[in-house]
């Protein structure tokens, strides 16, 4: 049986449901109160894609810190000494390492929070700058609109569709982690795209998978996501 190993990132603002999404996808459970990710968390998922193919997913839950704005702020200050709260400088220096070797990505926002939707543009730009395929193309990325089960919706489907098409996403889906709506379907669509891209890149050297163990640098703080 052929085995594939795919590193997939899950990014977006804090409290949009990234950790709950992965917990639902990997463990089939929903936690009403889940602890906010600080740094990176790491999950594994094994898929039997077909009778001849097995897919092992390394799922990286990147904290919802808007580190892209900090990177931009630092870009013009190479000769200045930057002082950050304890540990934050280490996190900023590691974020590019966490993107290294990724072959796919989920960008997630909360449909009841328009700010988290607007932030997706920056997350996608940051991703395209830090993670790419061996041929230089952007890695496959899917846009997920979480919490669509809630009545207080603040982002229209038309806005999401236009944004997805304008920013190079493979596709977009409305999901509800709480109701287990489109969680598995979204990941199948992303893995399908990665499989297709991998097939087209046969013969090109894949970037080595990152061997950093994020749990060594990850802290948990109370919060809901």
User: What is the pLDDT, as a whole number, of residue 204?
Assistant: 56
User: What is the pLDDT, as a whole number, of residue 13?
Assistant: 92
Alpha-carbon span 91 to 29, nearest angstrom: 29
Q: Is the pLDDT of residue 31 over 70?
A: yes
Q: Which domains does the chain have, with CATH numbers?
A: 2-75+83-221 (3.40.50.300)
Cα–Cα distances in angstroms (integers) from residue 116 to residues 12, 19, 60, 108, 166, in the given order: 7, 15, 19, 8, 17
Give the least confident one: 33-47, 140-154, 172-186.
33-47
Q: How many CB atoms lie within 10 A of CB 92?
A: 16
Q: Per-residue pLDDT tens for 101-120?
A: 999 999 999 999 999 999 99
* Residue 200 DSSP SS3: helix
């Amino acid at each position: 049986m052929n085995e594939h190993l795919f590193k997939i990132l899950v990014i977006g603002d804090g409290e949009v449901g990234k950790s709950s999404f992965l917990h639902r996808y990997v463990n089939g459970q929903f936690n009403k109160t889940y602890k906010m990710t600080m740094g990176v968390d790491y999950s594994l998922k094994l898929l039997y894609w077909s009778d001849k193919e097995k897919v092992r997913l390394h799922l990286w839950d990147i904290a919802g810190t808007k580190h892209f704005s900090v990177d931009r702020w630092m870009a013009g200050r190479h000769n200045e000494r930057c002082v950050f709260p304890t540990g934050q400088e280490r996190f900023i220096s590691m974020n590019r390492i966490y993107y290294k070797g990724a072959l796919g990505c989920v960008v997630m926002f909360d449909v009841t929070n328009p700010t988290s939707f607007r932030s997706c543009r920056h997350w996608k730009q940051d991703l395209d700058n830090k993670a790419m395929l061996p041929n230089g193309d952007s890695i496959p990325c899917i846009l997920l609109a979480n919490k669509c089960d809630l009545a207080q919706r603040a982002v229209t489907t038309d806005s999401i569709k236009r944004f997805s098409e304008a920013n190079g996403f493979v596709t977009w889906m409305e999901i509800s982690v709480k109701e287990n709506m489109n969680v598995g379907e979204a990941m199948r669509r992303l893995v399908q795209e990665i499989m297709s891209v991998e097939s087209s890149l046969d013969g090109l050297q894949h970037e080595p998978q990152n061997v950093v163990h994020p749990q060594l640098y990850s802290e948990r703080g109370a919060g809901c996501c």
